[in-house]
Each structure stands twice: as C-alpha cells, then as structure tokens.
Amino acid sequence: MQQARVAQVGIGGYGASIRGALVAAENVAYQAVCDLDQALCEQVAAETGAAVRSFDEILADPAIQAVAVVLPNHLHRPYVERIAAAGKHVFCEKPIANHTADGAAMIQACREAGVILMIGHNYRREATFRQAREWLEAAAIGTLIDAQGESSHAGGLQINPATWRFDPTLCPALPLIQLGVHVIDFLNHCLGRPVEVSGLQRHRVIPGNNVDATVSCIAYESGVLATVASHYCTPGRTEVLFSGLGGRVQVNGGKASLHTKAGVTAPEIARLDSRLEECREFAAAVLGQTTVETPGEAGLWALAVCEAATLSQRERRTVALAELPGMAVVA
C-alpha cells in the first residue's frame, strides 16, 4: 500500500492520541518526531521506529511529505507557516488558532504554497454524529428551528494552573475554544454558515483567572438559532439536540436518536475511531487520493464563533462574524 510520509511536532499530552492514530493508519509511514521532551522522543522512537529530529531537520528532509502539529494553540501559526513554506502538507490540531487573523494567515500561507491544511475536528466523524446529520439531511424532523449543544468536562479542576491553558492570553475562553469548538464545528457542518454570536463567559471555580463556564448563542444564515454550553469544571458531557417542526434529533454520548410522532428510533451504532479516520483521510489527501473534510476554512469558521463570543462578552453586544479580522479569506 502506498504510504504518506508524515512527521509529528508535539507528541505529548493530546499529541499521544494523534500519534497513536498516525501509527495505526495503514497508509501512513510515521517518519520522525519532535518535542521539547527529549526522553519522550527517544521512547516513542524506540516504540515506532521513527527518527528523533529537530523541527529544522524535519523541514529540510525532502522525504517527509507532511507534518502533524499538536502544539499549544498560540504556536500553531508560526509552525504551520514554516511547514507550508517548506512545501509540506499540514495536519493541525484544533482549534486552528486563538484568533481569526492568525487562522486566516495560516490558510493563506498554505494556499500560496499549494499544500493541504487540515484541522483536527474529529467530533463530526463520530458514527453517532454522522447518523444525526443523515436524519437532518433527510428532513426527518422537518424545518429546523434550533439546536443546543454542550461539550464539557472537569479537567480544569485537575490541571496545573501554571500550564498554558490557564493563561487567557494563550487560551482565550478556555472551555469554549478547547471543547465547545468541537460542537460548533459540527453545528456549522449541519446548519451552514454562522452569521452572528452573543456570548456569556464566567470564571467560577478553577484556579487562575481564565474562564471556566461559557454559553454562546449563534444565529445561522439559514435562520436556525443554536446555543452551545461549554464548561471546564463539570462532569464530562457531550450532547447535541436539534429541534424541528416534526420532532427532535439527539446525540448523547455514544447514542443517537430520532424522536417524531411515529415514535423513537435509536439504532445500535458501532463506535469508530474518529482520530484514526481523520489520519487516514489526511494521508490519502497527501497521496492525492481524496480531499480533506475539515480544511483550514472549516477550522476558521469554528474559531470565528469562539472569538465572536469572547468579543461579545467583553463588549456586551452581539457580534457579526463578518467584522472579525481575516474572515474575508472565507467570504
């Protein structure tokens, strides 16, 4: 089987999950790793056969076709821009960046270099989310009126407050940009283009001064309204509910259900590894066999909702996404 030759920058933390998916993908040749933790690099190299390289060495290696970037949000732009300039394709973990101006610059850099930019929005790939979208596309609940989503967990109660996530300048609107952005990407995928956002954000209980509770209201071009709650201090929960004139579609954990006058449909749905699926797709795109489902543009729209919600909280007003820096790139 033809394989895409991929290196990874940032292999600790969540990077371990992406690393596992890249190694498991049969169409990926896992070539090199780069991380500040040299001991971890040596361990992963021993386990996978990948070489331990500096970032400059990865960029200079003509055998490497693509690089996966799993770094703190504020580092995405400088690394992606350098990778694109080296002529290599990029997988960048979500969010695309902290600010739309940076995300737009990343998209432009990859366009100009003629390379792929894929953002790691994997929720939409989950089998239950796919089923929910199929029902919506089939108009199983008629005209859509609203959607409600939540992605939360209590990670903020356990993480060292000295880490980058707790700095609002490095990770603005912490739970929204880290967790809620997944649900926002799925809502955008189902509902189309978001146009304006109102947001409320609070710091309640976690250490430090970043927010840990957020609620955002989104208006879509189609007329559908949506709310997204995302907290970093409550028990883990991922749920999406769509309401239409003819019923409801719900995704709750590992289940998807359709509620209409005819009754409740809740099929057994086999789970799949959404990270593995996205890594397989990225490799296939690098090999010229397909296109990616979540390009930089999708990442920018999801980020724009987060940034607009934060601006709304700061200025106490509804924010139009068109006024955000860089959105002309996806106009």
List, for residues 102-119, the tens digit of each pLDDT value: 999 999 999 999 999 999
* Confidence (pLDDT) at 156: 92
Calpha distance 159→163 (Å, rounded): 8
* Confidence (pLDDT) at 160: 80
- Distant-in-sequence contacts of 53-57, Cβ < 8 A, 24+ apart: 53/7, 55/9, 55/79, 55/82, 57/32
Calpha distance 275→182 (Å, rounded): 13
Judging by beta carbons within 10 Å of its beta carbon (0-12, 13-18, 19+), is residue 295 exposed, middle or buried?
A: middle
pLDDT band at 162 (very low <50, low <70, confident <90, very high): confident
* Number of other CB atoms surrounding residue 38 within 10 Å: 9
Share of the chain above pLDDT 90, in %: 96
For the whole model, what pTM was predicted?
0.97
Calpha distance 323→145 (Å, rounded): 26
List, for residues 66-84, the tens digit of each pLDDT value: 999 999 999 999 999 999 9
pLDDT band at 100 (very low <50, low <70, confident <90, very high): very high
Spatial contact of 98 and 177, defined as CB atoms under 8 Å apart:
yes
Average confidence score pLDDT of the chain? 97
Per-residue pLDDT at 325 exceeds 90: yes
Per-residue pLDDT at 208 exceeds 90: no
List, for residues 174-202, the tens digit of each pLDDT value: 999 999 999 999 999 999 999 999 999 99
List, for residues 271-290, the tens digit of each pLDDT value: 999 999 999 999 999 999 99
* Confidence (pLDDT) at 233: 97
4-122+275-293 to CATH, choices 2.60.120.1440, 3.40.50.720, 3.40.1180.10, 3.40.190.10: 3.40.50.720
Domains of the chain, residue spans: 4-122+275-293, 124-272+302-330
* Confidence (pLDDT) at 253: 80
List, for residues 29-67, the tens digit of each pLDDT value: 999 999 999 999 999 999 999 999 999 999 999 999 999
Q: For 124-272+302-330, CATH number?
A: 3.30.360.10
The H helix count followed by the E strand count for the chain is: 10, 15
